[in-house]
Structure 1
Amino acid sequence: MLEHVPMSGAEHGVPITVDRPDYATLWGLSPRFDLVTAIGKHLRRALDRNSGPATVACYDNWSARIAIEVIAAGPRSAGTWLLVVELTDELLARAERRHVMLTEATTETSKRATVVVAPRLDGLAGTVGAQVSTLCEGRADHCTLVWSMSHCWPDRVAATRALFKADGFHELATESVGVVTPWLPGWFVASETRGPVPHSEGTT
């Protein structure tokens, strides 16, 4: 059995093994890992809004790992499919352990997804405007888009929100997470839909 060595208080007291950190614990840390928690919360809310079978599409493996945990913990995990752009052995093994149905995304299956998770738009290749257009293209009503971007300079959050609005999407919920400092400026997380906004939801 591997020996667990506690990290110092400055490192949040997270247990690590002698050869690798306990990533499951690290993901729950605050504030550096608040983005993981926030995206998971928005995804959970989006899945709860859907009473029938759901399909979640993820544009990167980082968000797919979050989605696997959220789907596995949900009440309708058996009826939810996860679509990923790049199907790796690591994701397949993780999904199998958590009993989550996983398959490779195609353009058409992704467009029919109930929920789309596209975190860190400002970290993806190409311009943010092109990314937003790709996300919005061909989406059915009631599809929920969960996206995020950093508040680092230049802060493009307001412009990106305007792009979604111009494409006919309505904000269901928004929040800012993380430490607002010159070194850790924090992140903005939002959920968007083309369908009517439920009375019980709104921006935060």
Structure 2
Amino acid sequence: MDGADEPATLPEYRDNPFISALPPILSTVEALERLTDLPRFDESERRYPAHLRAHCVQRLGRYFDPLDRHLLLESRFSMLVRQGYLGRNPATGDYVRRLQNSHERHPATVEKALRRLPAYAAAGADVLYAPGLRTPDVSKAAVDAVDPKPLNLLVSSPVGLSVEQIATLGVRRISLQPRRLGRLPADGPHAGRPRALRRPRRGRTVRCAQ
């Protein structure tokens, strides 16, 4: 394929800020040119005195002439980085949503967490939490599992419940992760929240019910 006919970028690589920030995909010839680092040489330097020629010889320490294995590595790393960014596109939020909804793909994770909560409570933990508590039924089960210890609900994405509804389940505290939440929709989990419940600093726990 002639270079003029090649697409500027592959369709799956478009609209991805991470991939857009990378250098262009290199052909073998382009990679060879960029990796090659030949020492500077001037025929007239052969007439330099010995103490200067000794310094010129040190240029050989920076000499690099790529082998086939180097060109293969460049190509593989180029593919590896770009393919890795396909599922980590911050413009769509798909990657964060998949992380946050991992419990939906792996229900055993939530079940295992619910089994461990009583053990943590018995060990003396003052406040307990578990990842993946996104439904009222699961949150209520966690509250019952640690009773009478308070349960902390970690909210990293909209869960479709108001603060009052979460408190009704028996949740005693809510921890927010604002950077993941971004802008909270008017009908999200914080719709109609009390004015006293302000946006916390990162990692700070907010008491929502006594």
TM-score by length of 2: 0.35
More strand by share: 1
The structure, 1 or 2, with the larger RCO (C-alpha pairs under 8 Å, 6+ apart) is 1
TM-score by length of 1: 0.36
More helix by share: 2
